[in-house]
Amino acid sequence: MRPLTEEETKTVFEKLANYVGRNISHFINNEDPHVFRLQKDRVYYVEEKIAKYATCVSRAQLFSVGTCLGKFTKTGKFRLHITALPLLAAHARHKIWIKPNGEMPFLYGNHVLKAHIGKMSDDIPEHAGVIVYSMSDSPLGFGVSAKSSLEVRRLDPTGMVAFRQGDVGEYLREEDTLFA
């Protein structure tokens, strides 16, 4: 495990800022200091004290420590994993709540349609990161808005509101490759 380079940190923070905005300071300035660490190509968000303990374990033997935020692709882009959902949901800037009839299609990997929207945050711009919740306020996943909240009002019921990036159904669909 090693700390992120400046370029890697910038890439990770840009992705996180798309979902949490100025609340990104909560990732750094909290009562228990946390750090970002890179193990192979995955970025972990771990308590600083635990990260120091993890230095005793060899890189080959260390599988995971902390919360996996995502991974770097071979082209250098950063992709968020569903394991980052609790952190993103706690500090989310834009939110979409979907009706019970839209939960299963979303959890099977489909995008969010206007017919499935129960309510949504105001002033969501186009291509902004959104957190998708059930009507009972449990986070189901995250994605990117396809249209602004003003355009969504004029959209027909089969229109796309948000593109799915990750959902909790991935824990079952990708259990073989999620941590490999």
CATH of segment(s) 2-87 = 3.10.450.220
Q: What predicted TM-score, i.e. pTM, was given to this entire model?
A: 0.88
Which residue has better confidence, 61 or 25? 25
d(CA 177, CA 10): 26
pLDDT-based confidence at 119, cuts 50/70/90? very high
d(CA 17, CA 21): 4
133-143 pLDDT, tens per residue?
Answer: 999 999 999 99
What CATH superfamily classification does 94-173 receive? PUA domain (2.30.130.10)
So where are the chain's domains? 2-87, 94-173
* Residue 121 near residue 96, CB atoms below 8 Å: yes
20-59 pLDDT, tens per residue?
Answer: 988 888 887 777 888 999 988 899 999 988 888 888 888 7
> Is the predicted pLDDT of residue 118 greater than 70, yes or no?
yes
CATH topology agreement for domains 2-87 and 94-173: no
